[in-house]
């Protein structure tokens, strides 16, 4: 009985059936079966893209489960359009069409088989639908937010077999002139091959790593720093989408096809360039290319003294903004060029230090700190040098081997460096983000939310700032906003790091999107089989979902990686605004069999 209760839940159920399957088979049995199976395969893929689970095939019918009614309706509409296109290529009459019914009700899931009144009701509603159409229960139409581009038309009340009370039914379609929402899960786990991303309506650009054309390979940091500074500046513009360094630097030292880059990263424009440094002179080239046509939009060559490179960076940034006709909001123009230095040596120290820090190796942090201090000694007014020291101390406390007192001192140092950088550059988003994290550490949730929102205001299209904001909002009781920001971060950096997946998993779990969370944790583990946080997140969500056998297998992996793990110590360090979330998290770990 306990197991039966655990498997019961409220769900949105989709039931689809092939219209006139017997007639199709009579025309050509083999061909009909092939096309019906292909149709169901396409539908299963569409269902998964919209966050659903295709539970089973029943002869010529399919049953799927969703957590949100809007996702079920969107998947159904998307599939019917796709199926119409697929059938259009056939010159015979064996063209499978589906009827679809969607209901909301209690179900029982066991061994991938789903049963219950909700399933039966979806089947009965499906029988009311026209070929290629859909009928939904009244409660489904009422659950879908009015902002969604769907139109529901009353189909009257129907007395359905097996149900005592009449059921209100509605047909559903895409509202005229509207576009179908892109699946929220469509960017979830595209980690290896980011291609196929939709180009946004606003101007979008990928800045490729500049080619080091100098004879000295150790000058790579110089070329990389030029490109990264331009990315950082452009990320401050709200009406321009710029792809993060993590994603564009995969093309470093590679011959690239600009059109392919545009497709991979989902952008309209690509900036490529090169740097040749010789003595006190530097030559910088830059080309802005339309990735759709492959045509150059703008190109320029700069032969300057080394001290002029910062002016060249600013000029390139301004030219991009101008060429793409980007509208700058009040304050954005001033922020584009704030926080810099005129001293080349100080800039080089920071660039090398940031490169070291990007490797996230504990042994590199002391050298990065030394370079940050050197940059400050050269130019005490250089805000980014203080930011480097801030980042070093914050990252340092995240490594193992420090006592609580030592970690506290490191965080306080990071806070102090952040405050100093803000005195020099009040719009420094990275510094504000770290101060938000420090407030979260102190359980000052309202202050953390205020600061993280301010960091987004100053760097709306910076992938890491959006991801850090998601991490904070998760703990501050705003999981829906957190999910929006981590998905934006993943769009800004299609080749994203594993910690983005952690934020996706945590926010999805809080919103009840358990399958999305499980997929995220599994992807983390696929990347790194020794990921402690990945195994822990998976064990917790499986335990919370009542999948205790699978949860215990994940718990064993947690203890393999960290034999000293205890629930009380781990949960005691969580900073959820709502204490009930700590209890809920702990309960999932207990169900997984982890020690107190």
pLDDT at 305: 87
Residue 15 neighbours by CB distance under 10 Å: 25
pLDDT at 51: 86
Here the contacts of 309-315 (C-beta below 8 Å, separation 24 or greater) are 309/226, 309/282, 309/284, 309/344, 310/340, 310/341, 310/342, 310/347, 312/284, 313/226, 313/229, 313/230, 313/233
Asked if the structure places residue 45 within a domain, the reply is yes
3-class DSSP state of 518 = helix
3-class DSSP state of 320 = helix
Domain boundary among the residues 303, 336, 369 is at 336
Distance, CA of 432 to CA of 396 (rounded, Å): 18
Domain boundary among the residues 336, 353, 383 is at 336
Q: In which domain, by residue range, is 200 found?
A: 184-336
pLDDT in tens, the chain (596 residues): 344 444 577 889 999 999 998 889 899 888 888 888 888 888 988 898 888 888 877 667 899 999 889 999 999 999 988 888 777 766 678 889 999 999 998 888 776 577 888 899 999 999 999 999 999 999 899 888 887 889 999 999 999 998 888 999 999 998 877 777 766 544 333 333 444 577 887 889 999 999 888 867 777 888 888 889 889 888 988 888 999 998 999 888 888 889 999 988 999 999 998 988 877 888 889 999 999 888 888 898 888 888 788 888 888 888 888 888 777 666 666 566 555 788 989 999 998 999 888 877 888 899 999 999 999 999 999 999 999 999 999 988 877 678 888 989 999 999 999 999 999 999 999 999 999 999 999 999 999 999 999 999 999 999 999 999 999 999 999 999 999 999 999 999 999 999 999 999 999 999 888 888 999 999 999 989 999 999 999 999 999 988 888 999 999 999 999 999 999 988 888 889 998 999 999 999 999 999 98
Same domain? 208 vs 282: yes
Asked if the structure places residue 213 within a domain, the reply is yes
State pTM to two decimals. 0.68
pLDDT at 555: 93
Same domain? 169 vs 189: no
Number of domains within the chain: 2
Residue 185 CB burial class (10 angstroms; 0-12, 13-18, ≥19): buried
Domain boundary among the residues 174, 199, 227 is at 174
Asked if the structure places residue 156 within a domain, the reply is yes
Same domain? 146 vs 7: yes
Phi first, then psi, for residue 170 (nearest 5°) are -140, 140
Same domain? 123 vs 22: yes
Same domain? 216 vs 135: no
Phi first, then psi, for residue 592 (nearest 5°) are -80, -10
**What DSSP state is assigned to residue 298?**
E
159, 142 contact by CB (below 8 A): no
**What DSSP state is assigned to residue 129?**
S
3-class DSSP state of 118 = helix
Same domain? 163 vs 37: yes
Distance, CA of 37 to CA of 43 (rounded, Å): 10
Asked if the structure places residue 234 within a domain, the reply is yes
Task: Write the CATH number for 160.
Answer: 3.30.70.1230
- In the numeric block, the tokens 């007014």 are attached to 381
Same domain? 96 vs 199: no
Closest CA to 499 of 191, 226, 236, 280: 191
Same domain? 154 vs 11: yes
Task: Write the CATH number for 286.
Answer: 3.40.50.10610
pLDDT at 37: 85
Residue 343 CB burial class (10 angstroms; 0-12, 13-18, ≥19): middle
Task: Give start and end residues of each alpha helix (H) in 383-531.
Answer: 383-398, 404-424, 429-441, 445-458, 463-475, 479-492, 498-510, 514-527
Asked if the structure places residue 242 within a domain, the reply is yes
Same domain? 318 vs 263: yes
Asked if the structure places residue 470 within a domain, the reply is no
Same domain? 90 vs 210: no
Asked if the structure places residue 400 within a domain, the reply is no
Both tokens assigned to 303: 């032969």
Question: What angle (nearest 5°) sits at the alpha carbon of residue 109, between those of residues 104 and 111?
Answer: 150
Same domain? 53 vs 201: no
Distance, CA of 446 to CA of 451 (rounded, Å): 9
pLDDT at 180: 79
Name the percent of the chain in helix, strand, coil, to the closest 5.
55, 15, 30
Asked if the structure places residue 285 within a domain, the reply is yes
Q: What DSSP line would sit under 340-383, residue for residue?
A: --S-HHHHHHHHHHHHHHHTT-GGGHHHHHHHHHHHHHH-TT-H
Same domain? 139 vs 94: yes
3-class DSSP state of 212 = strand
């Amino acid at each position: 009985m306990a197991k039966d209760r655990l498997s019961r839940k409220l769900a949105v159920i989709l039931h689809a059936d092939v219209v006139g399957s017997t007639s199709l088979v009579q025309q050509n049995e083999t061909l009909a079966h092939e096309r019906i199976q292909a149709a169901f395969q396409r539908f299963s893929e569409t269902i998964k893209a919209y966050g659903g689970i295709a539970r089973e095939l029943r002869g010529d019918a399919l049953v799927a489960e969703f957590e949100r009614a809007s996702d079920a309706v969107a998947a159904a509409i998307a599939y019917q359009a796709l199926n119409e296109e697929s059938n259009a290529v056939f010159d015979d009459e064996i063209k499978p069409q589906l009827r679809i019914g969607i209901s909301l009700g209690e179900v029982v899931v066991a061994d991938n088989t789903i049963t219950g009144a909700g399933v039966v009701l979806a089947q009965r509603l499906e029988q009311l639908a026209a070929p290629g159409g859909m009928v939904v229960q009244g409660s489904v139409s009422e659950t879908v937010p009015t902002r969604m581009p769907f139109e529901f038309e009353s189909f009257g009340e129907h007395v359905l077999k097996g149900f005592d009370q009449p059921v209100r039914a509605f047909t559903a379609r895409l509202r005229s002139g509207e576009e179908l929402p892109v699946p929220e899960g469509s960017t979830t786990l595209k980690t290896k091959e980011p291609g196929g991303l939709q180009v946004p309506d606003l101007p979008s650009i990928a800045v490729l790593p500049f080619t080091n054309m100098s004879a000295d390979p150790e000058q790579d940091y110089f070329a990389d720093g030029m490109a990264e500074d331009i990315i950082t500046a452009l990320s401050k513009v709200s009406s321009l989408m710029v792809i993060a360094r993590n994603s564009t630097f995969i093309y470093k030292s590679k011959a690239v096809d600009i059109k392919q880059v545009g497709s991979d990263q989902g952008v309209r424009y690509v900036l490529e360039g090169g740097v040749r440094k010789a003595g006190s002179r530097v030559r910088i080239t830059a080309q802005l290319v339309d990735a759709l046509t492959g045509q150059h939009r703008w190109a320029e060559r700069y032969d300057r003294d080394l001290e002029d490179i910062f002016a060249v960076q600013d000029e390139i940034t301004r030219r991009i903004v101008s060429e793409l006709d980007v509208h700058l909001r009040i304050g954005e123009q001033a922020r584009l060029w704030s926080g810099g230095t005129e001293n080349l040596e100080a800039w080089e120290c920071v660039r090398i230090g940031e490169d070291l820090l990007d490797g996230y190796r504990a042994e590199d942090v002391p050298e990065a700190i030394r370079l940050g201090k050197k940059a400050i000694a050269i130019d005490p007014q250089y805000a980014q040098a203080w930011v480097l020291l801030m980042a070093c101390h914050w990252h340092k406390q995240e490594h193992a081997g420090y006592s609580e007192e030592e970690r506290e001192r490191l965080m306080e140092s990071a806070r102090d460096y952040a405050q100093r950088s803000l005195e020099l550059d009040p719009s420094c988003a990275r510094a504000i983000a770290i101060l938000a994290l420090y407030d979260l550490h102190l359980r000052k949730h309202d202050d953390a939310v205020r600061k993280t929102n301010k960091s987004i205001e100053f760097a709306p299209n910076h992938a890491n700032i959006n991801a850090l904001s998601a991490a904070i909002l998760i703990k501050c009781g705003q999981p829906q906003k957190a999910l929006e920001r981590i998905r934006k971060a993943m769009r800004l950096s299609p080749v994203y790091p594993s910690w983005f997946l952690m934020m996706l998993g945590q926010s999805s779990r809080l919103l009840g999107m358990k399958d999305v969370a499980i997929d995220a944790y599994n992807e983390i583990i696929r990347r790194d089989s020794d990921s402690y946080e990945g195994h822990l997140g998976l064990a917790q969500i499986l335990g919370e979902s009542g999948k205790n056998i699978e949860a215990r297998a994940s718990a064993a992996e947690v203890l393999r990686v960290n034999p000293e793990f205890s629930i009380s110590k781990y949960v005691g360090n969580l900073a959820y605004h709502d204490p009930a979330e700590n209890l809920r998290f702990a309960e999932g770990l207990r169900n997984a069999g982890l020690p107190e």
